[in-house]
């Protein structure tokens, strides 16, 4: 029987479940945090004709390794980020747990981090004619000058919702936690999620 890899919306753990015709109507208990949620809460609704898709995920060990590597790259003077808090999903089904302040993105290969601002942040390659609000110095030109949108918006209960999307259809291949990110899709991210902009990884902190 086919299986799906999904993420717990409360603790972020990766869970493998069997795909059944009536799974969308079921409640699912996370074996890690023991929280029981409707199955639809474990999914992201990307803009793909309204079809529900499995939430992209990395393994728990890989998530922890990437998070620790990115944490070491943080500047010593960086203020401590508030602990992530969790709220119920919003009506559009894409909100899980979000911190009450904008996060930072870390580039482990450069040992650098960049704070996100509320609203739209555009991440891209550093260049004289780049319009990106966060410009990453690269030794190659595989990353576009304006490559990735990171939207930080108020959510339920005063939380901040962080989501990513491609700026245009012509950017080089981009992945979220190893899964292709398609142009037109807007996906909510969690701390520790990794976006690869062609050949550069950025980690959400």
**pLDDT tens digits for 81-94?**
433 333 333 333 33
> What are 80's strand-pairing partners?
none
- pLDDT one-digit tens code per residue, 85-118: 333 333 333 334 455 678 899 999 999 999 999 9
Contact yes or no for 149/165 (Cβ under 8 A): yes
* Secondary structure letter of residue 172 according to DSSP: P
| 40 contacts 93 by C-beta, under 8 angstroms | yes
Question: How far is it, in rounded angstroms, from Cα 203 to Cα 199?
Answer: 13
Question: pTM of the entire structure?
Answer: 0.55
Residue of 170 and 72 predicted with greater confidence? 170
Cα 15 to Cα 13: distance, rounded to the nearest angstrom: 6
């Amino acid at each position: 029987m086919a299986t799906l890899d999904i993420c717990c919306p409360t603790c972020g753990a990766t869970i493998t479940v069997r795909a059944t015709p009536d799974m969308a109507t079921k409640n699912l208990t996370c074996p890690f945090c023991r929280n029981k949620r409707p199955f639809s809460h474990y999914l992201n609704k990307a803009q793909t004709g309204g079809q529900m898709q499995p939430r992209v995920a990395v393994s728990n060990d890989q998530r922890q390794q990437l998070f620790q590597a990115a944490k070491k790259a943080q500047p010593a003077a960086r203020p401590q980020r508030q602990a992530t808090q969790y709220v119920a999903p919003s009506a559009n089904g894409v909100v899980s747990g979000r911190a009450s302040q904008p996060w930072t993105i870390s580039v482990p290969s450069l040992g650098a981090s960049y704070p996100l601002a509320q609203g739209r942040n555009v991440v891209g390659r550093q260049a004289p004619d780049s319009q990106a609000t966060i410009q990453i110095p690269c030794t190659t030109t595989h990353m576009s000058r304006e490559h990735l949108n990171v939207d930080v918006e108020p959510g339920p209960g005063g939380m901040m919702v962080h989501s990513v999307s491609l700026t245009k259809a012509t950017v080089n291949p981009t992945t979220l936690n190893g899964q292709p990110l398609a142009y037109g899709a807007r996906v909510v991210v969690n701390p520790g999620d990794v976006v690869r902009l062609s050949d550069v990884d950025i980690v959400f902190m």
